[in-house]
Structure 1
Amino acid sequence: MPASILAGHPSWHSRLGPHGIYDTVLRWQRFALWMHDQGLDGLNQLTDDVLAAWADHMARQPGARRANVTKDLVALTRLWAFDSASPAPAGMAMPPWNRLGVDDFLPAQARAGRGENSTVLAALCDILACQPNDLIEVQVVNEEVRKTAGGETPGPLPAVRRTSIRRPEGL
């Protein structure tokens, strides 16, 4: 495996299980169809510009999420690593995100005010192929909690309610 892949993001050189391999091959297939639409028919035609155009194409898809586009870019990094390590490499160019960093090739960050919890929720929705409303039941509770200037809460606190995540039907 090329040394540059081993120095990249840890997920780019991790071992894949059957589901990860299947997902990677599906991403390669989608890339191959895009290549065909661009009139490209070999890995040797994949230049920095072509790979950057693919990343831009994926980032501009409706509903594109950073986590999902990252998986597409990692899949192409794996393809480049396999090509580079093969006995007869086709000559695929090193993906520019491997050299320059992946952030510039991803869709914009989520809106301000959305924190780590929404990122985790978005990742769960990607994995389970569902919507947030399939996982969370929202209930409005009209109870006011008053705090003093010292941070102490006068009176009893509202009861703690544990949240359960339910698996969407069919999964």
Structure 2
Amino acid sequence: MGYRGRSRLTLFSLLLRALMLLAGAQSNSITTSDSSQGVCTVKGRVFTQRNWYGYIVHKAFNRDYAKIQYQIMYPIKECCANLLIYYDDQVKQLRPSMTCEQRLAVLPADNNQVIPLRTTNDSSGCTLWNEKGEDFYVCLGERIFRSSVPRTWFFALSHCEHEGPLNLNYVFNIT
């Protein structure tokens, strides 16, 4: 990507962060890259009263194979969150006026794009962890993406049917 492409991406990221802050969400994110290993790491924290939060990660893949590994940790008392994976065509369907449930309904039920982040779901990789007397879900997993055309994938969080904040720490390794 040339200088102009990186500059536009940086500007877009800054505008996206500003919009999220204006909407009442707090998010801290650190991105590092190890080009020798072909890995990009995104670390951060989300704390918001909203029940749908996007996007903690968005990544364009130009090849037919890519892998994202995730680690998400949040207090059990703030159960139950979902990791949502949208691709570019699905994101175009989302509107600011949509409810959390409507945003969730954009994702097909049979395509593993909704990952319940709790121990009752084997595919999420969640376990219980106790730190200083407080119980947490710690969810470790990975997803492999295959597509015949270049795609951008967007990762969001939700807890549509629950009260209280979304309060999570996350790490994504993207190869």
TM-score between the two structures when normalised by the length of structure 1: 0.27
Normalized per residue, which structure has more strand? Answer: 2
Higher relative CO (Cα under 8 Å, sequence separation at least 6) belongs to 2
TM-score between the two structures when normalised by the length of structure 2: 0.26
Which protein has the larger Cα radius of gyration, Structure 1 or Structure 2? 1
Normalized per residue, which structure has more helix? Answer: 1
